Amino acid sequence: MLDRGSYTTKILGSGGIYPYESKIERYLSDMRDYFIDRKAVEEILSSGRNPLIYVVYEISRELRGELNVGCTVIYPGKIGDEYHFTKGHFHSNVTTGEVYIGVSGEGLILMQDKNGAFNVGEIETGTVVYVPPGFAHRAVNTGKTELVFLAVYPSDAGHDYETIMRTGFAKIVVERGGRPTLIDNPNYRRI
Ligand code: S6P
Ligand code: ZN
């Protein structure tokens, strides 16, 4: 699939990148504890549906100083009032930052550090968002089409999903009056 001696890949839009090394699919059943409306989650799953929320196409490298590339495709939709999003994570290596580059679609990136600092950025075609070291990050698709973005991050970043899963993000993105709206997360717990 990926020739390790080749250093180029191509952005295919909602098809991700090609070639890639690995593909991760996240279905609603993989994220049942993430969405705020647990009742909506259980209703969807018990009706036999299990929507694909997002896919990540990745090329990872090994040595310190090398850079990984990931292309995420978040499918449009909501669970209850809440727009589809990625799980979100801190990097295990807290000294590592990341860059997100918007390819297509419309969305937001939520960023939050362990002291409670919170920041939100827009992702759309051509936007470049810097995620500073120490900030957990989650992308949210607020549009009607796939949200596609590239992520470039150090090969030794690692992913800590556990911490942000325990606290949640301080804000969530829901539809209010037909529009995406950032509201306080009623389940947020500060570390
Ligand atoms: C990796 C980078 C992205 C995410 C991807 C899925 O550091 O931030 O490639 O892995 O957007 O999000 P998550 O939170 O499920 O890893
Ligand atoms: Zn990351």
pLDDT digits (tens, 9 = 90+) for 45-85: 999 999 999 999 999 999 999 999 999 999 999 999 999 99
**Residue 1 placed within a domain:** no
Q: Which residues line ion ligand 2, judged by CB < 5 Å?
A: 98
What residue owns the CA closest to ligand 1's atom 6? 86
**Residue 153 placed within a domain:** yes
Ligand 1 center to residue 91 CA distance, Å?
10
pLDDT (0 to 100) of residue 4? 76
Which ligand places an atom closest to the C-alpha of 89? Answer: 1
Q: Does residue 78's CB lie within 6 angstroms of at least one atom of ligand 1?
A: no
pLDDT (0 to 100) of residue 120? 98
**Residue 18 placed within a domain:** yes
- Does residue 3 register a pLDDT over 90? no
Ligand 1 center to residue 139 CA distance, Å?
8
Ligand 1 center to residue 88 CA distance, Å?
7
Ligand 1 center to residue 86 CA distance, Å?
7
Q: How many domains does the chain have?
A: 1
**Residue 31 placed within a domain:** yes
pLDDT per residue over 29-52, tens digit each? 999 999 999 999 999 999 999 999
pLDDT band at residue 177 under the 50/70/90 scheme: very high
**Residue 4 placed within a domain:** no
**Residue 3 placed within a domain:** no
**Residue 88 placed within a domain:** yes
Domain membership of residue 95 as a residue range: 10-184
Ligand 1: residue of 25, 89, 129, 156 to mutate (most ligand atoms within 8 A of CB) is: 89
Residue 118 CA to residue 111 CA, distance in Å, equals 6
**Residue 86 placed within a domain:** yes
What residue owns the CA closest to ligand 1's atom 2? 151
For the chain, the C-alpha Rg in angstroms (whole number) is 16
Residue 83 CA to residue 97 CA, distance in Å, equals 25
Instruction: Specify the CATH number for the domain of residue 169.
Output: 2.60.120.10
